[in-house]
Structure 1
């Protein structure tokens, strides 16, 4: 399929990750449409509209209500689902944009305590992270394709690196979405020829759009680099290894161990990986950070070829 033939629909295209995907797709010469609850074009945290925004079709739609966007699916060659929430207290998104440390801490504290300021269950982990993706996939599968080409559905999932600061339901809802999407693509909608791809980034950062992510990204990058340089057979346990050995007593420590060995990834690189996974017909299923880096041509420490992508549980 020629790149110019790509007609991409991004669910949540005016968000942090979704907007980066729209921009990356436009750079490839693709036709891009975004749907979101507001339908408003993307703006920077300071309220500016970048020049590329005018090249995207922006539509208001409810991902949980297929009738609100089904006509937009006709002729689409690919869909990226970038809608989701890290915390059920969605005030964290505004705090990250503004760099408000106190507001961000309050959002994390609210989620950790079980408090949920959301007005309806339609906005929770299951609705946003799982059910919306399933409804969008089913609508995509039912739409009339443009020609006989295989289509791609990219789901922005996540690596399990946020415990114990984020409720486990966050990752659980993502994994449930992956499992059901794979089942739908393989069995219920196999004749639709849709290739599912699940991107699993860890911490996604951007120095200017999400300034509070930079210190954590620097620390986790250093940790992942050091863990990656531990030679095979090293006699002493690594910090991640110690945490994994204790995870039977306190399961969230496994998530902390994953964070120590998983490189953070810039939002533009997530976007590039999403587009590259659409272009690369051999790619399907879950892709962690190492595979995403390979896909966009980044060197990977210790990469000896086609090796496993997920963090090594022995480190």
Structure 2
């Protein structure tokens, strides 16, 4: 009997020590005395860990100091993107405050050694490169220059590439053969190198306030009414020979908005977007 009582006393003592240790580990001691108030829990401050911010997408605009390119740069900055521009003349002549937030590179796409560094760290490219002149010159600027850029972007692992091309204008395609041959050659290269993430925008006449030196040309005075009228005359665009003359013009801000979206939205459909598609996407939020 004495042996049993001894074991019970020893067991009770062990349990008492166990509860005491458990309570002390939780930062408070339990008491059966109603006159005592339990001490509050002791909460230690968690160690803070520095988490780096998510990487910022970097957009390179080819021809970013031009009429369309400057609007694209500004639109991209408003979306919080890191923006760089590459052009033959380098920094834009614009004195607007947003221009100070663009990284300006000077280089010629026909001379690869002068511009390949501009593609470092770039996640998307928008090309506005184009020009007029002799057929051979137009093919080089609209075709060869853009093809060089597309190949360089593919080599650098750029995710998306958007090319500002041009709508077909029937007879004009023959009059400006070098221009359109160059554009179509660049389009073919883009769809080959970026089959799932390449976007081609084919606007017609692009209007907006265009600066020529110190002068401002308000092209919207003509372009805006024409856009409203010709949007409603879409069936006329299907007429043989003359149908392309009814292609509605599009505001430069609409082109910029769609171009930036196409360069940054992973679900934006690849391929060719005509002027009606540009107008439709520009009206979406």
| Residues 215 and 171 (structure 1), Cα distance of their counterparts in 2 relative to 1, 3 Å cut | farther
| Residues 76 and 125 (structure 1), Cα distance of their counterparts in 2 relative to 1, 3 Å cut | same
TM-score (normalised: structure 2): 0.71
Residues 4 and 30, structure 1, Cα contact 8 Å, conserved in 2:
no
2:77 paired with 1:26:
yes
| Residues 222 and 293 (structure 1), Cα distance of their counterparts in 2 relative to 1, 3 Å cut | closer
Which has the larger Rg?
Answer: 2
What is the match of residue 127 of structure 1? 140
Unaligned runs of 5+ in 2: 1-52
Give the Å deviation of 1:288: 1.1
Unaligned runs of 5+ in 1: 44-48, 89-115, 187-193, 231-237, 248-252, 300-315
Residues 62 and 69, structure 2, Cα contact 8 Å, conserved in 1:
yes
Aligned length: 227
Residues 4 and 28, structure 1, Cα contact 8 Å, conserved in 2:
no
| Residues 156 and 259 (structure 1), Cα distance of their counterparts in 2 relative to 1, 3 Å cut | same
Residues 220 and 259, structure 1, Cα contact 8 Å, conserved in 2:
no
| Residues 9 and 215 (structure 1), Cα distance of their counterparts in 2 relative to 1, 3 Å cut | same
2:168 paired with 1:160:
yes
Q: What is the DSSP-based 3-state SS (H/G/I as helix, E as strand, rest coil) of the residue aligned with 2:231? A: helix
Give the Å deviation of 1:132: 0.8
CA distance in 1, matches of 2:114, 2:90: 12
2:264 paired with 1:271:
no
2:226 paired with 1:220:
yes
CA distance in 1, matches of 2:228, 2:270: 30
Residues 63 and 129, structure 2, Cα contact 8 Å, conserved in 1:
yes
Bigger RCO (CA 8 Å, 6+ sep): 1
| Residues 170 and 297 (structure 1), Cα distance of their counterparts in 2 relative to 1, 3 Å cut | same
What is the match of residue 11 of structure 1? 62
What is the match of residue 84 of structure 1? 130
What is the match of residue 56 of structure 1? 102
